[in-house]
Amino acid sequence: MNPTVRKILLVLLAVICLGCAARVGYQIFQYDQGDKTYAEAEALVDLPDLSSLPAPTLPQVDVSSSSGSDTSSTPEPVYVDPYADALRNMDFTALREVNDDILGWILIPDTKISYPLVQGEDNEYYLNRTWRKTRNSVGAIFMECQNSSDLSDFNTIIYGHRMNNSSMFGILKSFEKQSFWASHPYVYITDDNGSHRYEIFAAYEVSVEGDTYRLGFSSDASKQSFIDYCLSQSVIDTGITPTIYDRILTLSTCTGNGHATRWVVQAVLKGEAPSDAAQNVQPEEPISSNPDSSQITDTPASSGNSSSDSSTSQADSSAQDEPDSPSSSAATSQQGATSSEEPPRISQDIRPDPDEET
């Protein structure tokens, strides 16, 4: 080989190696800065020590009422969830002095998901900004800008990046395994109204155009169709079936399979049916399963319907693996729920669109 050509090739190879090393180094730096920023948030909010609490367990089906035993005995005490009880008095004043977009805190016990929950004026701002509004590719855990900040919507959507180090929403992919759900069955959101325990009931991969991202619901029938759709898509069988009187939480992140799909984990906060509620909801035209939705198979397991202590008083693409965040080209957002027959969906222009990493 010509010595000159050889030298040129060696120089090019060295430049490529240096570029790769710089990229990896920058990614590690971003992760480190992100970890420090969110550790600071935990200190400011005085996050209670949860390490001594028992691991969350699946609710047991109560068979006593059907066993024919005497029901006149002393009633059982009301169950108080230890995590909700520990979290309910969290004070967000210090966090809001830094950022008044803070809504509360989201936690899945025994995972890395323990972060401030924010909501911006659009779905772009927190893609590459932390809870402190400082630039970092880890971003923040943020609520869909069209949702009500008090979690009162029938379907509330929360986005987070899928990071290589399993931070942010990186761990959500593990819910494709029935065993992981069984040991991590709840999502806790704490805000000014207390701590709320959501029961995870579904996990699946869905098209960015899928009905999972519906926001407005014009009737009880549309809510029931949405529930049926979510259950039909799930790759795990939890035995938990939401009702139209409950509230659903949709956690959304990316899949690693390109820009066309997202991975979602859905949980339900149990509500109470009004005393005059109809026994049966007549379904509207059912939501069709999106042919683009990709299913990941896993061995199903079952769990009885659970009753919970639902409410206790109280990017830089270089460092991210898979963000689930709105596209950087978004310029507009839709209004929330409408009275139209077809409930609105999030415009694909503001749907999470990742910059994928290897």
Residues designated catalytic: 254
Q: Is the dihedral of CA 155, 161, 162, 166 positive or negative?
A: negative
The amino acid at residue 148 is S
DSSP 8-class letter at 199: E
Sole residue written with tokens 């990046």: 161
DSSP H or E segment with residue 169: none
User: Backbone dihedral region of 139: left (phi > 0), alpha (psi from -120 to 50 degrees) or beta?
Assistant: left
DSSP 114: E
- Spacing of C-alpha 93 from chain mean position: 24
Distance from C-alpha of 274 to C-alpha of 317, rounded to nearest angstrom = 48
For residue 267, the cross-strand partners are 200, 249
Rounded Cα distance, 291 and 212, in Å: 14
Residues 6+ apart with CB under 8 A from 330: 122, 123, 124, 347, 349, 350
Residues whose CB falls within 8 Å of the CB of residue 43, separated by 6 or more in sequence, listed in order: none
